[in-house]
Structures are given as structure tokens and as C-alpha cells.
Amino acid sequence: MAETLLALLLVTSSAKGSSLVYHWPESPRSLPRLARPRPTGGTALLAQLDNPCRAIELDASERRARLPKVRAYSAEDNDYEWKRPRSSRRRSTSFSRAGSVPASGRNSPVKECGYDLDGQGNLAIAEEYDDLLGYSAEFLAGILCPQRSLCHQKFELIVDDLAFIGHPVCTEDDGVWRFKSETKPRFGARGRDPRTKDASPRLDSPTSSPRVGPLQDEQVSGESSWLQTFHFVIVLDLPDPSSSASGNVLKYFHIIYEQIAFAVTAVLFQQQVAVNFVEKECDKLGSLKDEYSAKGEPYSKYMKDALEISSIGPAMKSIFEAIKNSSIAQIAIDAIPLELQLPPYLDRLLHSQEEADLDYIDRDDEEVEGSWGKDMSFAWRLPPLSPWKALLLLGEDDSGLDFYGNLQGPHQSSEERRLAQTLMKFLDLASIRLQLADMAIELDWDLENQVYPVVRWLIYHRRAKIVDVIHEGLKTVFTVSPQFKTPLPVLSQEFSAKFPPSIPPLPVILALVSGSTSQQTDNTFFAAVVRNKELVPAYHDVVEWMLKKELLVTMHLRIRVIAPAALKKKVRGIWLSRRRNLGQNIVGTGRGSIGGSGPIHVELDAIAQASPPPTFLSMSPRSVRRRVLNSADLDGSAIDDDDESKDEEDSGCAGDMEFPEDYGAFSDEQPSLIDDPGTAKPIERCWLAAMSEGKDLLIQRRFEQINQFFDGKKTDNEMLFRADISRKQLREVLHHYDEYLQTFLHPS
């Protein structure tokens, strides 16, 4: 949005016609467009030719012969730049104010000619008042004030390289500003609601517009109104179609409409109905504009003085500057406070995947939307709101907002005081070393219904960030962020001013953190930077400051399970033993020869002597029962079903878990990755069971409890929370199963 926003407009219409009342900035300029590709090249000849292919057809001698005769391309050559037809013609030949509508659009009398055209200076001033983005103000106002049937709905218009987005509103048929009474929908012949054709919210609907007072059927102010239509318009530089897919551009426009255009129009419409606010503001601005233009005052003086007499002007300026700075616009419209913003990463929609930051992929999935809600699930780049995350408060220095100002102020009721005290306690408790789940326990709050809503509010207003929990002893692994939002020299100065000389300079700390990730031993922040337990409290503030500036990226342990070839051969021996006990012929392939020339009959006795089955893989009661039922000398005696309850105590590989029918075709020469142990296949469950041979029973049970998280996606913090184990217990499992696990560090 900061890339494409050109201007904000307020246009109105009356019985006399349409008028552009106010806009910001003073002189908006669109980005230059090329009418044809501008040639590039190292020689003057290549720079002058339009078609590079023509240069290829010339041999070297011709190029040398032509080179001195060709003028090099100059930046002053404007033939390549596309310009609007309106902006390229001279306006002095046809400029006239005769019969034009006054700036306010009111029914006030107008002089035959509002400008003195005797001098070129006055002509330039006149054009300043009438020209905007290469079009006349009257022309823009005319196309941006649609007919009554097109009001109270989403408005999108593309003219040349400009896109206009807004939500025009108008009076009722009797010329009175009012909210429409709620009526029952009328359905068509097939039961369809005709209003669903346009899903945009309507400002004349009681469910769509915010109000200060109750719903009114008549205009509250009771004053006469010349204003028939007003339209708050956002002007964008039309994105290059080749830079993004058309679906992304449409979504880009829709988010801007919902978050800015509709929200501002809703408040303006409400106050116009209530106190005739918009018309009064237009009277002030229009009168000032007519006065200054008649006197020949510079347009810049009008723009400056308009900010002092109107509340709409400063609001439009604040919105424009906040969007350009990717911050929050805090405005007041007729003393009604309003905070507006766009998703921080909305402009990424206009970049192709190659140009965008590939370190993060926007996730518009159910997990993110379910935790953050629809408004914060897209272009915010937020991780899922999880109980094992922590909250980093940005504070007044970072966001410019005071956390405690309103909470400590006077409160009229005891309920407000109690709520303020509770929120103060929440803010005091929040820490990067405390999980959100632990905060809920400390506050005696419900995590989903009380903690998460406060966190969402803080994140939305950019007063906090969701971060990973930092170890109390700073035994957390970090890496340096790939890019800094602020230049390193500026950051170094801020760092030196904030922390004492006993703390190393910021570049030194960044170098130590960057080098620690390549170490094979302890690569935590404590081992790389702190190295002294007494300095841990001081470095807590250092880490918090660096996280606020987004200089550090937390690295998390992720784990995968690998079944080596030796383990797979051991399990094959179990398979052979079972087949032997069942008296079946064994047909398999040769060593590593899947899809070989033909089956090979294996001598069971030789296999049994070479690799006898291990004792822990004895047959389970279920296998015994199956063997007895299949035997020829079955005497009809039944086996008690209760024996099946003992299956849980057996090794699953030898008893309960069945091998695939084509197991003999599997190769044991290569290790296998168990992609998702939580949903492991039967043969993979055999491998997992075989890994626990000879391990302590407690370690076995813990491995069975947590191996479902060893999919390479879940972080160590998530494992500890979901399995409800300590980090020490996790390390014990990793130590005993080290030969079967692949561990690696990866950013969140």
C-alpha cells in the first residue's frame, strides 16, 4: 500500500453538480510509466536502438562505423515515458471557469470567471486549484460521484493508470440523510436473496455502520441540506499486471477497501446523519477555497490553512502518512477516535515469488485463521497463537503508545477499576521467559477466552509481538536476522546509548551469535556471548532489545526418525521367524535386488542358525491363538478372550503388528525415513518397536509417548508442552535413541 498510494480525496455532489472538496497530499504524482521498452546497453548504439535485435544483425565493422554518428541516450529524452493525454496538452488555451461549480458544491452564486488570467502567475495558480493527477478537479468529481443506484456499495474504478476505491453514500429519495429502517429481505422466485449479488456491506443498513446514538428514521439535526452525495476516495497507482496475479490484485484492493475506505466512510456517514457534520465541513473548506482562489493565493496556503479550520483535512493527512509509513493512523472525526491500519505485509501481494522474501510464506490456512481471526490471518505473517509461545511487549519507545496511561487514569465505576487493575497485572506479568499457558495459570484466566483476546488486541495495535520462549539462563540458540529494518550504524548508536560499556558493542555480539551457529558443541547465546552466570540478568535486557529490533531469529530443535539398514535386517529376521513358525514357504528377492530375475527360496534352517530371532520377540498370545486355531489337531477347546489383554505387554513387531503381504520385496540395504511416526505404517511400527530393544522400560515408554512429534515440523517447545515433559527428560530420550534420530536446528 505504501508503494501504490497516491492520494486521498473527498468529493461531493449537489443540485449544481460535483466538486472536489479536499485532497491530500497537495501535489500527488503517479509513478512514471514507459510507453515502450527503454533500451539498455554499454554502447551508444545499443542505447539508442529500440529493438535490440537490430543491433545483433550488425557486424562489428558496421557498429564501429555507426558508433560515432549516434547520439547516446539521455535521461532528458522523454519519448519513452507515457503520459496521460489530459496532462500533455496546454491548458491555457481552453482554461475557463465560466459556469463552473464552486468548490463547495453549494448553491451559492459564482462569478462568471473566478480567476484573473491577465498574468501567467495567476494562470499557474488557477491550474493548481483545478488540476489533479493530470485531470481537472471537475472531471474527477463527476466520475467519482456516481448515480444514486450505485451508492451505498463498494466502488472500484480504473482510469488509465489510476485506481479509485471507495464507498459513496447519498441521501434518501426525499433528500434527507437518514439510516434506513431494517426490513425483511425479499427473496426471488427461487428463494435467493437479491442483495447477495453484492457482498459489500451497506452503510444504510443498521448492521453495517457504527453509531454513537440510537437508530434514527429522520435526520437528527433537522437542518436543510444541499449535500446530496459524498465519497471518500483512495487513489492508487495501478499495480503492474505483470508483477502479480490478477487474483492478488483484486484481494489487494478489497483489503484496502475494507480496512480504510469503508471504515472512514462509516464514521462520516454516521455523523452526517446525526449532526450534518460532513456538510458543515464541506462548507468551511469550500468557502476557504473559493476565497483563496479569487484572491490568487497560492494553493499551498489553502492546503495549510484548511488543516486548521477542518477536522477532515487533518484526518486525511494522518491516514495518508500512516499508510506510507506502514504504521497505525490515530485520527479523530468529530471527536470520535478511530484507529486505522493495513496488514504490515500487504504490499507483498504485488511482488512475484522471486522478488518476495522467501524466508516466510504467507499462510492463509485454517490454523492461522482459527487462532488469529479472519482480519489478522492474511498478510500479517503471524505464527499460530499457541500456548507455548510468549509475549514481547514493545513499550512506549517502540510503538509510541503508552500502555499504562489510560489504565492508570480516573475510572468512573468500580467495574472499570477492576478491569484496569487486571489488565495492569497482565502487562506486568507478560515476559519473553513465560509461556502464555503459564500466564493463564498465574492470572487464573481461561487461556482461550481471556488470555488470547488480550494478546490479539495487543498484536493488532502493534503494542506487542508473539515470540518464542527464551530460556531463563539464556541457553537458547539464535541466529542473526538476514536483513535489518534499520541500518547497522544507527542500531549501534542506539545500543551504545542504552546499555553500559560493560556490554560489548552490538556488532561484536552479532558476530558472536553468527559464529555460534556453525559450532558443533554448545551454540547457545549463553555459551557464545554471556559466558558468566552473573551477567545473565543484564543480558536479558539485551536479548529483549534485539528481539524488538528483529535482529535475532530463534532456532528450534526438530527431530526425525531414521530406520537404519541394520535395524531393518533385524526386523526381516523376525519376519522370517514368523513365517517359519507358521510353516509357510518364504519367497524373497536377493540382497538389494528388488525386481530381480526371479524368486529365491530361502533355507529356513540356515537363516535360523545364522540369525536366530531375539528373545524379546517371542510370540504373543494372539499369535499363539492363531497358530492353534490353524493347527490340524485342534480339540475344540476355546482360548479365553482375556488372554488378548496381554497383547499390550508384548513387542508389537512379533505379535500384534502384521507385516505387509509384499514385505519380502522390500530392500534392507538403505535406511528409511519414518516421515510421520504418529501415523506410522505397520512395518514402520515394527521398526519403532525394534528400536527400543534393551532400553530401560521408563525410557521406552517415554519414547513411545513423544515419538509422534518427531516429524521434523514440531519444535522442541511444542514437544515439551504437548507431552508435558521437561527438557531434561527429552534429552534423555535423545541420548538413548541417538543412533535412530536425526536432529537439526531450524528457525520458527
Task: Measure the CA–CA gap between 167 and 150, rounded to whole angstroms.
Answer: 9
Is residue 26 within 8 A of residue 131, CB to CB? The reply is: no
Final residue in a domain of this structure, among 79, 94, 114: 79
Q: How many domains does the chain have?
A: 5
| Strand stretches in 152-260, DSSP E | 155-159, 162-166, 169-170, 229-237
Is residue 580 within 8 A of residue 614, CB to CB? The reply is: no
Provide the 3-class DSSP secondary structure of residue 724. coil
Query: Is 90 among the domain residues?
Result: no
Query: Is 257 among the domain residues?
Result: yes
What integer pLDDT is reported at residue 619 of this predicted model?
Answer: 42
| Run of H or E residues at 532 | none
In a shared domain, residues 75 and 143? no
| Strand stretches in 565-619, DSSP E | 587-588, 600-601
- Would you call the peptide bond into 25 cis, given omega within 30 degrees of 0 as the criterion? yes
Task: Report mean pLDDT in 10-residue bins for the chain, 748 residues.
Answer: 86 89 88 58 47 47 48 50 49 38 47 45 70 86 91 92 93 86 48 46 49 42 74 89 64 91 95 93 91 87 91 93 91 90 85 50 54 80 90 68 58 71 88 95 92 92 92 93 92 95 94 81 88 94 95 94 91 78 53 35 39 39 43 39 41 53 70 91 86 91 94 93 93 95 88
Concatenated DSSP letters of 52-65: HHHHHHS-HHHHHH
Q: How many CB atoms lie within 10 A of CB 75?
A: 5
Can you tell me which residue has the cell 524379546? 616
In a shared domain, residues 294 and 171? yes
Q: Which three cell numbers stand for residue 318?
A: 494522518
Task: Measure the CA–CA gap between 713 and 701, rounded to whole angstroms.
Answer: 22
In a shared domain, residues 50 and 25? no
Residue 470, classified by CB atoms within 10 Å of its CB into exposed (0-12), middle (13-18) or buried (19+), is buried
Query: Is 372 among the domain residues?
Result: no
Is residue 555 within 8 A of residue 743, CB to CB? The reply is: no
* Domain encompassing residue 615: 563-747
Is residue 459 within 8 A of residue 465, CB to CB? The reply is: yes
Can you tell me which residue has the cell 468557502? 287
Query: Is 473 among the domain residues?
Result: no
Nearest in space to 230 (alpha carbons), one of 312, 294, 320, 289:
312
Task: Measure the CA–CA gap between 620 and 648, rounded to whole angstroms.
Answer: 9
In a shared domain, residues 204 and 283? yes
Is residue 729 within 8 A of residue 747, CB to CB? The reply is: no
Nearest in space to 495 (alpha carbons), one of 432, 555, 544, 553:
544
Query: Is 301 among the domain residues?
Result: yes
Task: Return the sign of the alpha-carbon dihedral for residues 709, 714, 720, 724.
Answer: negative
Final residue in a domain of this structure, among 468, 500, 520: 468
Query: Is 252 among the domain residues?
Result: yes
Task: Measure the CA–CA gap between 258 and 379, rounded to whole angstroms.
Answer: 14
Provide the 3-class DSSP secondary structure of residue 6. strand
Task: Measure the CA–CA gap between 736 and 726, rounded to whole angstroms.
Answer: 16
Q: Which three cell numbers stand for residue 613?
A: 530371532
In a shared domain, residues 572 and 686? yes
Task: Measure the CA–CA gap between 660 and 657, rounded to whole angstroms.
Answer: 10
In a shared domain, residues 721 and 577? yes
φ/ψ of 578, rounded to 5, equals -65, -45
Total residue length of the chain: 748
In a shared domain, residues 200 and 243? yes
Residue 305, classified by CB atoms within 10 Å of its CB into exposed (0-12), middle (13-18) or buried (19+), is middle
| Run of H or E residues at 34 | strand 33-34
What integer pLDDT is reported at residue 355 of this predicted model?
Answer: 46
In a shared domain, residues 189 and 262? yes
Integer CA distances (angstroms), 51 to 34, 47, 78, 617, in order: 15, 10, 18, 77
What integer pLDDT is reported at residue 341 of this predicted model?
Answer: 92
Q: How many helices (H) and strands (E) does the chain have?
A: 28, 20
What integer pLDDT is reported at residue 409 of this predicted model?
Answer: 58
Is residue 743 within 8 A of residue 562, CB to CB? The reply is: no
What integer pLDDT is reported at residue 299 of this predicted model?
Answer: 87
In a shared domain, residues 546 and 594? no
In a shared domain, residues 635 and 737? yes
* Residue 616 identity (one-letter amino acid): F
Q: Which three cell numbers stand for residue 682?
A: 505397520
- Return the percent helix, strand and coil in the chain, to nearest 5: 45, 15, 45
Residue 326, classified by CB atoms within 10 Å of its CB into exposed (0-12), middle (13-18) or buried (19+), is middle
Task: Measure the CA–CA gap between 561 and 545, rounded to whole angstroms.
Answer: 37
| Run of H or E residues at 115 | none
Integer CA distances (angstroms), 31 to 3, 6, 77, in order: 10, 9, 17
* Residue 533 identity (one-letter amino acid): K
Q: Could you tell me which residues are beta bridge partners of residue 558? A: 744
Task: Measure the CA–CA gap between 45 and 36, rounded to whole angstroms.
Answer: 17
What integer pLDDT is reported at residue 225 of this predicted model?
Answer: 72
Q: Any residues with CB less than 8 A from the CB of 319 and at least 6 apart, and which? A: 8, 260, 264, 329, 331, 340
Q: How many CB atoms lie within 10 A of CB 458?
A: 22
In a shared domain, residues 304 and 220? yes
275-297 burial by CB neighbour count: b if 16+ within 10 A, else e?
bbbbbbbbbbbbbbbbebbeeeb
What integer pLDDT is reported at residue 665 of this predicted model?
Answer: 64
Query: Is 556 among the domain residues?
Result: no
In a shared domain, residues 60 and 161? no
Task: Measure the CA–CA gap between 390 and 438, rounded to whole angstroms.
Answer: 10
Can you tell me which residue has the cell 449479488? 197
Residue 707, classified by CB atoms within 10 Å of its CB into exposed (0-12), middle (13-18) or buried (19+), is buried
What integer pLDDT is reported at residue 506 of this predicted model?
Answer: 96
Concatenated DSSP letters of 341-355: ---TTGGGGGS-TTT
What integer pLDDT is reported at residue 251 of this predicted model?
Answer: 85
* Residue 681 identity (one-letter amino acid): K
Nearest in space to 348 (alpha carbons), one of 335, 336, 340, 360:
360
In eight-state DSSP terms, residue 94 is: T
Query: Is 376 among the domain residues?
Result: no
Final residue in a domain of this structure, among 521, 550, 579: 550
